[in-house]
Every structure is written in C-alpha cells, then in structure tokens.
Structure 1
Amino acid sequence: MPHSAIVKDNVAVITGGASGIGLAAALAFARAGLKVCIADVDQARLAEAATKLSSVTPATHVMTFAVDVSKAESVTELERAVRERFGGTDILMNNAGIQPGSTLFGEPDNWQRIIGVNMWGIINGSRIFAPGMIARGRRGLIINTGSKQGITTPPGDPAYNVSKAGVKAFTEALQHGRTEKPAGAWTAEQTVDFMLARLEAGDFYILCPDNDVPRALDEKRMLWAAGDIVENRPPLSRWHPDYADAFAKFVKGE
C-alpha cells in the first residue's frame, strides 16, 4: 500500500531530480498522478528530464527549477516557486548529492562542496520546506537520500562518508522530533582527565561516561542503535514507547 502522501494531485519536489535516482523517483511520482518539480544544478539535464516526465504526465504537472542546495537562499527560492506554481509541497525528496572523490588532506574547497551539497542540502531542504508542509495540514513526507557509506564508513572517500553520516544523524532527529538534550554530562575537567588517561592506555575510541551512565550501559545503547538499522526499527527507538520494554530487557541481558 503506498504512503498516504503519494496520492493523485499531491505535489512532489525532488532535488537532484534531473538524472539517476532523482529522475527515477520523479517518473514514479508522475505515473502515480502527482505534480512534480525536479530541481537540479544542471539546466541542460533539467530540460531533458522534463521532456521525459511530460511523456508520462501532462506538461502542466511538470516544473523544473535550477537550484544549488548548498545555499539556503537558493532553496528558499525553490520553495517559494513551487508554492506559487502548485500551491505547496506534500513530498520533499532531498536527493541531490555528489561524489567527486576526496582524500584526508585534500583541497578544502572539495570537502566544503561535498558537505555543502550532500549534508547541508538536506538540512536546508528540510528546514525550509517543512514549515509550509506542516501548515498544509495534511499528510506529508520528507525523504533524505543517504548512503551505507555513512554507516559503514569504508576508507577511501572520507568527505563523502562524513557527509552521509551527517545525513543519517539529521534524518533520525527529524523523524523522532525530540529536541531536549539529556542532562548528566561530566565537567570539561573530568572529561579531559579521562581522555588523557585513555590516550595513555592506547585507546582509539574513547567512550566517556558521565554522572548518570556507566560505560556498560553506553555500550548497550550503541548496540541497540545499530540494531535499529539491522532490524528496521524506528530511528532512536529506545525513546519510542513501543520499544521501551524491549530495550529495558536488552539492557538487562534478557
């Protein structure tokens, strides 16, 4: 059964929509009867993609827009243009992404561009589009295109891995909605003392405890968080009421 936002005459906006996954998604939404805006930095590809979309849906249901998702003002212009043309947005697919390659000590401009498009593009899109989507008062959907490389972080392309790890963390926070930060952190002095001791011991991963949580519990929480992905639970599920009992049993080793 399709998501409740994927219905005829709803509006879908896809960044990076002129090719690849973005264009494939745009075609699928168009076939489902949605009005579609494809946004991309490449004007020539946008024109080609619009022609393809017009073969499966009326041209009046197709919109193109040149955008640089790394720039908030450009994304703001996109949101305004979609609102003026179609009345608002029901589905936002933050899909724009680049992978030109990177090295640990490569040019900073390359790092900034990768993180600007891959991570800030998703943050910009979500922050700028979500308020209007909520104001529409109907079911909406934000889809953020990530990568397994943001989870498994294989060597060889560190900037891309960093950007996609940021996408994972941001999207989990976006879905969960919690904004308050738990209390109980150590003082700066306690943290540094612990860090120096663990460096002397040769640790690479320094897992600092705090006034509330011992290391053993932090380890359980990390294993549970990995299980959210492997077992397809909701993100941050240990805060989810449907999983509270299961997490408690997990911590106890049951």
Structure 2
Amino acid sequence: MSIWFVTGASRGFGAGIVAEALARGNQVVAAARRPDELQRSENLLPVALDVTDEDQAQAAVAAAVKEFGRIDVVVNNAGRGLLGAVEEASDQAARAIFDTNVFGVLNVQRAVLPVLRAQRSGRLIQLSSVGGFTGTPGWGLYSATKFAVEGFSEALHGELAPLGIHVTIVEPGLFRTDFLDESSLHRAGEIADYSDTVGAMRQSLADFNHAQPGDPVKAARAIADLAELPDPPLRIQLGADAVTRVEAKLDFVRTELERWRKVSPSTDHDDA
C-alpha cells in the first residue's frame, strides 16, 4: 500500500487517478480547489488546495503527513489550458496560466520534497502534455508552461535520483476529458490574421471535443502502473497521437541538426 498525493483531484485526469489508486488498495490525499466535491473515507482524505497559494500547499502536505504518516507518490496534475495565438494572449492570461501550471507545481514540490527527501524514497509524477514537447499554433502559451515543467523536471530527475526519489514526466495526447469544455479551457481574443492557423485549430477542437481518441480510464491505469515500477522512465507518452507527434518532432530536430551541423561548431574558439 502506498500513500498518494494528487492535485487537481476532483475532475478529469485527477479524479481518474484517485479512483485507480484507491482501487489498488492505496490511501489517497485528494487535493482540490473544492474538496467538498470529494467524499471522505477511511482511505481518502480530501484537502483544500489552490496550487497558486504556497501556504495552502504547505498546509495540504502537512495534513497528509499528519493523517497517513508519509507520502509515497505525488501526482502534479492540477493545471489550466489557454487556447489562442501567442500574440492574442493578454498579459493577465499569460501570467494566470504560468501561475497555475508552472509556479503551482513549484509550490507543491517545495512543500512535498522535504518529506520525500527525509524518507529517501518517493515518486514524483509530473502531468505534462505532448504540447510540452512540441508546440502547435493556438497552444503557444500552454506549451510554454509545459516546456517549463519538463525542463525543471529533467533537472529534478538528476537531483533526486541519488536520494531514492524517481521523477517521471507524463505526456498525454488528446483524451476524452472535460479539458476542451468552456468550463475548463480559457480562450484568448482573436486576431483576424491568425484565422488560417489558430482559427482552424479552434474549429477543429470544437468538432473534436468529447470525441478524442484517448481513454482517461486507461491513462489512469498506466499512471498507476508507473508508480509501481522499480525503474520508471523519465518521460512517457500516452496515446498514439502523442507518440506520432513526438516522433515527428524528433525527426524534424535531427534533420535541422544535420543541415546546420557545419555552422554549429564553427562558433567555437580555434583553440577549443
């Protein structure tokens, strides 16, 4: 039995991960902005957590340790979306998504890592996105937040591994959750010049919502499996669409690297 700490636990991926962890006999701290939506039980402790509030993060972790004595698996799942061209996003919208998706994750990590370090054990599972590996029109600011999470998570992987703590970045593709609903997805203003790129993306998502190929129940199972592996991966894609996009990005990077290979080393000192 493990003690799980899941953020954004009341809906979407978070709710599915909580359900799967409980079904496997674990105890779960379900952290959510509205914990009253969750039913308290012997194995489930709902706690209030707006990840942008560092004091709440500290209090939620303290409540988890007080209730269960330790924390074994941390799932940083809480996040928000923003659809729009990079130029279309206001300063307020850009800061809001970074506050949740980047600084919110950092808040939770600062609260929970002292517990994991003291234990010399634990799993940190970072819910990123395939958009954290490859950017597409309409998702620039969202991708930027996920790129940031992936950057510091790679560094964390190296920092925490000697202490017995595993870090895994999860990159889902399109899954049939409420992420694209009006209640979940924030939208930037529209500039006509982007109608052929971002406009087309907006239309395709409207047609695609609740018809996404990914099954969130299967995703929750895969994430629970990761937490049980003795040697989990640093990065894993979920969904065939995510694999296709990552493969295309790797091919593109390799092609450009080879095309400009002569230029890159030409900037070194002659005595290097």
Q: Same fold (TM over 0.5)?
A: yes
Give the alignment's TM-score, normalised by structure 2. Answer: 0.56
Q: How many residues align?
A: 164
1:33 corresponding residue in structure 2 = 25
> Which whole-Å CA distance do the structure 1 matches of 2:42 and 2:140 have between them?
42
Q: Structure 1 residues 18, 234: closer, same or farther in 2, change over 3 A?
A: closer
Contact 2:80 2:101 in 1 (8 A): yes
> Which whole-Å CA distance do the structure 2 matches of 1:92 and 1:119 have between them?
16
What is the letter of the counterpart of residue 36 of structure 2? A
Q: Structure 1 residues 27, 34: closer, same or farther in 2, change over 3 A?
A: same
> Which whole-Å CA distance do the structure 2 matches of 1:234 and 1:147 have between them?
14
How big is each residue's C-alpha offset from its partner over 1:205-253, in whole Å with a ceiling of 9 and x where there is no partner?
xxxxxxxxxxxxxxxxxxxxxxxxxxx9757xxxxxxxxxxxxxxxxxx
2:96 corresponding residue in structure 1 = 113
Q: Structure 1 residues 234, 159: closer, same or farther in 2, change over 3 A?
A: closer
Q: CA deviation at 1:67?
A: 1.0
Contact 2:133 2:147 in 1 (8 A): yes
Q: Identity of paired residues, percent?
A: 25
- Structure 1 residue ranges (4+ consecutive) displaced by more than 4 angstroms after TM superposition: 232-235
Bigger relative contact order (CA 8 A; separation at least 6): 2
Task: Indicate which of 111, 117, 134 corresponds to 1:152.
Answer: 134
Contact 1:12 1:34 in 2 (8 A): yes
> Which whole-Å CA distance do the structure 2 matches of 1:157 and 1:233 have between them?
26
Task: Indicate which of 79, 99, 122 corresponds to 1:97.
Answer: 79
> Which whole-Å CA distance do the structure 1 matches of 2:139 and 2:55 have between them?
29
1:64 corresponding residue in structure 2 = 46
> Which whole-Å CA distance do the structure 2 matches of 1:112 and 1:70 have between them?
11
How big is each residue's C-alpha offset from its partner over 1:45-101, in whole Å with a ceiling of 9 and x where there is no partner?
x334x33xx7xxxx1111111211122222111111111111121111000010143
Which range is displaced more, 103-112 or 113-122? 103-112
Q: Secondary structure at the match of 1:142?
A: strand
Q: CA deviation at 1:113?
A: 1.2
Q: CA deviation at 1:111?
A: 0.9
What is the letter of the counterpart of residue 73 of structure 1? D
1:85 corresponding residue in structure 2 = 67
> Which whole-Å CA distance do the structure 2 matches of 1:65 and 1:159 have between them?
29
Instruction: Judging by fraction of residues, say which structure has more strand.
Output: 2
Q: Secondary structure at the match of 2:83?
A: coil
Give the alignment's TM-score, normalised by structure 1. Answer: 0.60
Contact 1:40 1:68 in 2 (8 A): yes
How big is each residue's C-alpha offset from its partner over 1:147-166, in whole Å with a ceiling of 9 and x where there is no partner?
11121111112210110000
What is the letter of the counterpart of residue 129 of structure 1? V
What is the letter of the counterpart of residue 131 of structure 2? Q
What is the letter of the counterpart of residue 116 of structure 1? D
Larger Rg: 1
- Unmatched runs of 5 consecutive residues or more in structure 1: 1-7, 179-231, 236-254
Q: Secondary structure at the match of 2:28?
A: strand
Contact 2:53 2:104 in 1 (8 A): yes
Q: CA deviation at 1:104?
A: 2.4
What is the letter of the counterpart of residue 62 of structure 1? L
Q: Structure 1 residues 152, 142: closer, same or farther in 2, change over 3 A?
A: same
Find out whether 1:163 has 2:145 as its counterpart. Answer: yes
Q: CA deviation at 1:102?
A: 4.1
How big is each residue's C-alpha offset from its partner over 1:170-207, in whole Å with a ceiling of 9 and x where there is no partner?
111111128xxxxxxxxxxxxxxxxxxxxxxxxxxxxx
> Which whole-Å CA distance do the structure 2 matches of 1:132 and 1:33 have between them?
22
2:154 corresponding residue in structure 1 = 172
Q: What is the RMSD of the two structures over their aligned residues, measured on CA atoms?
A: 2.2
